[in-house]
Structure formats: structure tokens, C-alpha cells
Structure 1
Amino acid sequence: METTLKPRRLRVAVQNYDWGCNGENSSVARLFSLNDPSIPIDLSRPFAELWIGTHPSGPSFLLPDDSKSELVPLKDWILQNPSAVLGSEVVERWGDDLPFLFKVLSVSKALSIQAHPDKELAKMLHKMRPDVYKDSNHKPEMAVALSEFKALCGFVCLEELKDVLTSVPEITEIVGDEHVDRIMTLKETDACEEIKIALQSIYTKLMMTSEEAISEQVLKLKHRLNAENKVRMLTEKEQLAVQLEKQYPSDIGVISAFFLNYVKLIPGEALYIGANEPHAYISGECIECMATSDNVVRAGLTSKYKDVQTLCSMLTYKQGFPEILQGAPLNNYVLRYTPPFDEFEVDHISLPAAETLEFDAIQGPSIFIVVVGEGSMQMCSTTAGDSIVEGDVYFVPAKNEIKISAGAARELQLYRAGVNSKVFD
């Protein structure tokens, strides 16, 4: 009879990127301090991302069963018995590593305008620039909003793009009348490839323009919007441009934002982003899950390395507003967010005080993080369970039946990441 390994509590990693929220305003800082109380937290520092998984840039560790033992890297534990930890289907599909990376994000300043390469491009970039592109995997991802969460994602539709080119003269100054006229003569009924080629041409022209020319036009845009704000209400996209200019003066991303959809998620809504799609997170907090990778091709709103030519050549140039996931109820207590990617899915579990929920055995691994409340977690085959509180993170190996109970005083909220269930259907 195959042995089912018990769930293990994890110590997790934190990233202090400069776009993160200061400690006192950051859910990342709060959860990290609760996850490992032994580490003092400098509340004046930005806390951007909590990482849970096996990626070498922020690996998780198993807590030992006794105080004398050392922390064991989660990846090392998986390698000792991959099939028992991950499940045979996962090992057969992805090998002996966790196929997803689970995160919490606290965003106070816009992240870079970026895209994530598909598998083929990721392998090539990793081979060419391993110092920048640190692994060879693709990075489809999904963000589930914990607060109001704002982002740029994908290109606006053709009609909105025409409105942009009419109302933002600084873009015409940069790209020239020929590119603008080409877009303005297109119709929604024209061939998709024709529209795509025109969009790629004008966007590449914009992004490849010299820093000096961009700086001049961003300054013009700033002065024009500040003046017009005195006599009319700026549009949401114009207000965003003003905000981005304050964060990244003279940056191409300020003008590039007009080409992208402005997405506002309310808590509980989710946005997924496929390979080669342009996006930038603007503000808010979210749960994020992705394939195990940290590959990012950047082109604006950043002081990091920009690979503009690669970004402009890799994009799909699909237009239209992205799909927003609301979560599908599995029962009274669980909402499941299922993106069109095999590597992961995310569950939001909300248990009222004193309620209990049983998870049937899942063929792959799961990671649970407690974000609100306290309670207990146990394998259904045992009578004893572990107490769980905010900040606790558990790795649950494959084929575990799990029972989660909320404490008597208040609601218990957790998020679970696991391999997309359709893989096991």
C-alpha cells in the first residue's frame, strides 16, 4: 500500500523590491512576520512579494519536527521521493519539481511594462542571457485581488486606439503621421493580420524611440494634462499617466500606457496573463500564482534592464479587454479560479467560525496559506491535527484528504494553490 506523506509547515521567502508597500501597510510584511517571528521586520522597508515554492531566487523550507533539526529546502525534500510528494501524474508531466510558484504581492508603485516569454523563447533567452533570464521556463500567471487591484493588460481595441491617437497628440509627435494614418484608416472588419501588423509597427516605433525624444514628449504631456485638469475632468487613463509620470519621470511607459487596457479588479476578481502579453501591475494587493519561473522581458517603468527589441518582437498584439475570472463555487466555502494553464489553479477558502471543510484527495501537491483567522488542519486519516493561524503556510503532498476547521471566534480564510485539476481528469 502506497504511503501518503503528511502535510508539512513551511518557512517562506520575501522580496523587498522598491515598488512594494512599506512594512506597516503591507500584507506581505504582516504575513512574513507571522510566518517567521524570529526575523525582525524593518517596517520602513518596502515589502513586495512573499514567495512560496522551489524557485532558487526565493525557496521555501520545511520546518523540522523538532527544534534541534535544521530547515530542509522544500526542493530537496521533493527530490527524495518525487512521486510520493508530487504524485506520479505531475512527475510524468513536469519532472521532479513543483510546477507552480505561489505568491502574495503588495504593490504601491507601478511595476515595469513587461511580458513573459513562451517556452521556446524562454529557452533561447536563458541560453543567451542567463544573468538576466535566470531559467528556461515560461511564466503564465494569475492574480486574485485581495484589495482593489489595478493593472495594465493587453492592447486596447481598434476603436479605443483611434480615440487615443486623436486625443494624445504627443504620440503623433513621436511616431509620425504615417503610422497614425495607417491605424485611422483601418476598420474592425479588416483582416486580423493587417490590424496586428499595423499595431506592431506603431507600438514598436513608439518603444524604440530615443530616450531624449520620449523625455521631451512626456514633459509636454505632463504640462498639457496639468493645464487641462484645471478646466475639465481628466479621463481615468489620463489620470493614470499623471500618476505614472510622478513615479517614473520621462519614461516611455507613461505614454505606452495609453495603448493598454486599464483593468480594475475588486477583491475576489482575478486576471490571468498568458505568454507574450504586455502588462504592468499598478497598485493593490493580490494572491498570485504562476508557472515556476522568474522570466520577465521589460521595456518601461523600471530602472532594471530593458530589452525593448525582444519585447516588441515577442508580443501577440491581440486586442480587446482581458477576461476577468469571478471564481466558480465548489461548495458553500470554496471559490476556484481556473486559468487556461495546466500548471496551476487557485482556491479561496472562507470558513465561518466553528465550521469544518473536508478536501477530497487531490492527485497533485497543494500549498495552503492562512491569511485571516485561526483554526486547525489535519489529515482525515488521523485524529490529531495542527493548529493554524495567520501567516502559516502548509505544503500538502499528493493524495491527502485534508480537514480544515475554523476556530470558534471568527472566520478562517485560506488560499490554496495546486496543479490545474483538469490535468487529472
Structure 2
Amino acid sequence: MGAENPGIVRLKCCVKDYDWGKLGKESSVAWLHAKNSGEVIRDDDPYAEFWMGSHDSGPSYVVVPVGNGGSGDLVSLKEWIERNPAVLGDGVLKKWGPNLPFLFKVLSVAKALSIQAHPDKDLAAILHKQEPGVYKDDNHKPEMALAVTQFEALCGFVGIEELERVLHNVPEIVEVIGSACADQVLHVSKQDDEKKSKEVLRNLFTELMLVNKATISDVISKLISRLSRKREVAELTDKEQLVLKLEKQYPEDIGVLAAFLLNYVRLNPGEALYLGANEPHAYIYGECVECMATSDNVVRAGLTPKHRDVQTLCSMLTYNQGFPEILSGVVSNPFTRKYIPPFDEFEVDHCVLPKETSTVFSEVPGPSIYVVMAGAGTLCTASSEECITEGDVLFVPANTEITAASDSGMNLYRAGVNSQFFEPSKFAASK
């Protein structure tokens, strides 16, 4: 296992059973994992995330062939890359060392994930040192979610005008934060500098998130009663309907009120949302492909039974306001769209091959992971051919051209290092 290119290798991947996942056969994650592992789907168990990568919290394993095509031992992808660092390519090795810089996932979301943010590199290093059992590594975690079905999320803070409407229309928030804090928001003008606007929003959000449990219980009870009365005489707004749904999932949780402060984003299949460090968000419902830097660091503060670190979350956020950018991808060939976020670690391709068609993924200077979501076909290099079907996950080394073909149709996704990282000007800077 030296510097020689080992070609395409198959991966056995990890599944996560977080309680927000879809149950049994309703979950795409369950089907993928069953096909990938050969395990039987358990109808009453949640299947939340399918992990494809080298992170210690959910490692993938390389199926090492023995003899002439026989199935052999499993070696962790992390260990296999350390034995075969050339598979990453020179540029990736120089930037990130013998580590896969991205983590690829499929998510099946039945109920809301926590209101959360991911730390930047400096904060990640501090948190990992202080609480390694909670913050699993010292890396940052920029990420992108690409909708497979219609997908709902909360992402980033609403703009100042929308925030003013919230304070006029949601008296329960004013009751929690106090009229003085609310007045600060209402008196922020367009002439005020960005720093002042962020300071006012930080004060409001922190006051809200640190409220005591007795007050939360009382105020959310009032909110639900008011919205129930309103529903009898008028149509609720989309955000109000969402809040009622969240309260059923997480009763007496401050995240229910905090949802009014965040943008409600609904992605159509094929649309993507990216999230930088220190930006608040919460996935609500649907299925997506997700890619991120290789990290498992999450700071939570609401809509969760898990560990909360409210002070850290409130102190780390950027407090940027406004609706997030939605990516629709760019056409790279008749069957493939490419999604390029503003992060070096990753990009994602989505390829839908009709029957009796093929397409070429040109060689790139970094590694790739492919996952087959539906259908069947082949992945070919200059010297090998792999028959693939739903649930197959394959690692492709750097500098390997791939031809994907299908007789009956196939739907697959590819994750790789951001192609813009390899552009001459950026690549030279990375050295």
C-alpha cells in the first residue's frame, strides 16, 4: 500500500440514530444504510444521519479486496488514508495533512434539530481543550445542506424591519426581554452603524435565551393560547404555524420563542443553503445531502434534549442579519449540477443519469466520495470498472477521471474539495 494509486475503493459507512430522525422505512438514511451494510431496517428506530468520511465520531471503513475480487478486511478510512496519503493529492496534503478535509452526510429529519451554531477554528480549539467529551475535535465546521426533498430550516437572524414587526406582534418576547431592551431595537435606525445594530440584537437574543424555566413555561403557555384563539378567527402566518409545530415537539423550550428571530427557509429539491461559522440555524423537516469540514462540533441552546451551552452560543454568534443566500448550482454538463460554497474544504455535485446515458467527471487534484441514492450503473476509470447500485459509497483518489454510466437510470452525489481551491492564485497562496 505505498504511493501507487489504489483506484476506486468501496466504503462501509456509519448511521446515527438521533431521535429527530425519520423512523424505519420512512427514512432515506435507513434505506441507504441497509443497502450499504446489509443490515435489516428496524421499523420503530429513528435513522437520522448517514456519515461518509473519516471523522472518529462516525468513521467509514474501506473494504480491502483480498485475492481476485474477494471481500476482505475492513480498515478505517482514516487509517487507510494515513497508509496511502497520495490518494489525497499534493495540494490537499500540503493544506490539511493526511486527513480527508470534508465530511459527507445524508440526513432524514422528522422533527427539528437544535438551535445551534458551529465554532470557528479558534473557538473550536478552546472548546475542545476545555470539554473534549462535548466538543469532539478542534476544527471548524462550515457546512452546506442540499435539499433532496422539500427541506425546511431556520437560518440566520431576520432583518431589522422584520425584527421590529416581531416585537410589535409577539408580546411574549417583550415580556421576557423587558420593554427597555425592546425599545433599543425599535429605536435602531437605518442610519445607525452595523456595530450598534449587532449589539442591540445580541442583547435581545441573550436576554431571551437566558430566561429562567418558570418564565419560559408561563410565557409559552400564553403564546400558545393566543395563537390558538387567533387561529379561530384568522389565518396564522407561516412562522406562527411553525412555532405551534415546534412547541408540540419541544414543549416549554425557549427555542420556540427564538424561532421568531430567525429566517424561515424552505428549500425546493435541488436548492442548497450554506452556513459559515458562528451562524445560528436549526433544520426543521425533510431530507438533504449535507457536506461540511471534518468536524463534529455543535454549540446548542434550544429545541434539544442534548447538552446546552447558552452562554457560549450567545457570545460566539456574528449577529449578521438578513435572508441567507440560496444556491441553485451551476450546470457542469447536461446531467450534473455543481454546488460551490465559499469554503475551501468541499463542493458537491448532483448527477441524474437517464437510462442509457453516461457522463465524465474529469480528474481533479483532490479526493472524491460518491454515493448512489437510487438506480444502478457503473463507475469506470482508465483501468477498472465498478458495478454500483443504491447505497454504494465509493472513495476515488485524486487525479482520477471517472465515467459514470447507467442503462436504467441513476441518481448520485459526489463530494470533493472545492475546485476553486485548486485555481492557480489560491493554490499558490495555500502553499
Output the TM-score relative to the length of structure 2.
Answer: 0.96
Structure 1: distance between partners of 2:84 and 2:62 = 15
- Which residue of structure 2 aligns with residue 305 of structure 1? 307
Structure 2: distance between partners of 1:316 and 1:4 = 43
1:418 aligns with 2:416: yes
Letter in 1 for 2:56: P
Contact persistence 1:52–1:101 (CA under 8 A): yes
Structure 2: distance between partners of 1:24 and 1:81 = 37
User: Could you report, residue by residue, the CA deviation over 1:366-418 in whole angstroms, capped at 9, with x for unpaired residues?
Assistant: 00000111111110x22x411110111000011101111012x3x21110000
- Which residue of structure 2 aligns with residue 73 of structure 1? 76
**Cα deviation, residue 5, structure 1:** 2.7
User: Could you report, residue by residue, the CA deviation over 1:106-133 in whole angstroms, capped at 9, with x for unpaired residues?
Assistant: 0001000000000000000000011110
Letter in 2 for 1:418: G
- Which residue of structure 2 aligns with residue 402 of structure 1? 402
Alignment of 1:275-290 (within 5 A): 275-290=277-292
Q: Secondary structure at the match of 1:69?
A: strand
Q: Secondary structure at the match of 1:152?
A: strand
Q: Secondary structure at the match of 1:373?
A: strand
**Cα deviation, residue 187, structure 1:** 1.5
**Cα deviation, residue 68, structure 1:** 6.0
Contact persistence 1:9–1:392 (CA under 8 A): yes
- Which residue of structure 1 aligns with residue 188 of structure 2? 186
Contact persistence 1:4–1:400 (CA under 8 A): no
Alignment of 1:193-232 (within 5 A): 193-232=195-234
Letter in 1 for 2:395: F
Contact persistence 2:63–2:71 (CA under 8 A): no
1:266 aligns with 2:268: yes
Letter in 2 for 1:151: A
- Which residue of structure 1 aligns with residue 36 of structure 2? 35
- Which residue of structure 2 aligns with residue 61 of structure 1? 61
Q: Give the % identical residues.
A: 55
Alignment of 1:97-246 (within 5 A): 97-246=99-248
Structure 2: distance between partners of 1:346 and 1:419 = 9
Query: Runs ≥4 in structure 1, deviation > 4 angstroms?
Result: none
- Which residue of structure 1 aligns with residue 98 of structure 2? 96
Letter in 2 for 1:421: S
**Cα deviation, residue 171, structure 1:** 0.5
- Which residue of structure 2 aligns with residue 14 of structure 1? 15
Q: Quick check: 4-13 or 290-299, which moved more?
A: 4-13
Q: Which residues of structure 1 form unaligned runs of 5+?
A: none
Contact persistence 2:25–2:41 (CA under 8 A): no
Alignment of 1:342-381 (within 5 A): 342-379=344-381, 381=382
**Cα deviation, residue 334, structure 1:** 1.0
Structure 1: distance between partners of 2:385 and 2:191 = 61
Output the TM-score relative to the length of structure 1.
Answer: 0.97
Q: Secondary structure at the match of 2:273?
A: strand
Aligned CA RMSD, in angstroms, stands at 1.0
Contact persistence 1:100–1:292 (CA under 8 A): yes
Contact persistence 1:4–1:399 (CA under 8 A): no
Q: Which residues of structure 2 form unaligned runs of 5+?
A: 424-431
Structure 2: distance between partners of 1:144 and 1:42 = 26
Letter in 2 for 1:401: E
Letter in 2 for 1:404: A
Structure 1: distance between partners of 2:87 and 2:43 = 36
Letter in 2 for 1:415: Y
Q: Secondary structure at the match of 2:81?
A: helix
**Cα deviation, residue 350, structure 1:** 1.1
Q: Quick check: 178-187 or 62-71, which moved more?
A: 62-71
Q: Secondary structure at the match of 2:154?
A: strand
**Cα deviation, residue 69, structure 1:** 2.5
Structure 2: distance between partners of 1:215 and 1:88 = 56
Structure 2: distance between partners of 1:195 and 1:50 = 39
Contact persistence 2:23–2:46 (CA under 8 A): yes
1:386 aligns with 2:386: yes
- Which residue of structure 1 aligns with residue 429 of structure 2? none
User: Could you report, residue by residue, the CA deviation over 1:288-329 in whole angstroms, capped at 9, with x for unpaired residues?
Assistant: 000000000000000111000000000000000000000000
Contact persistence 2:65–2:73 (CA under 8 A): no
- Which residue of structure 2 aligns with residue 26 of structure 1? 27
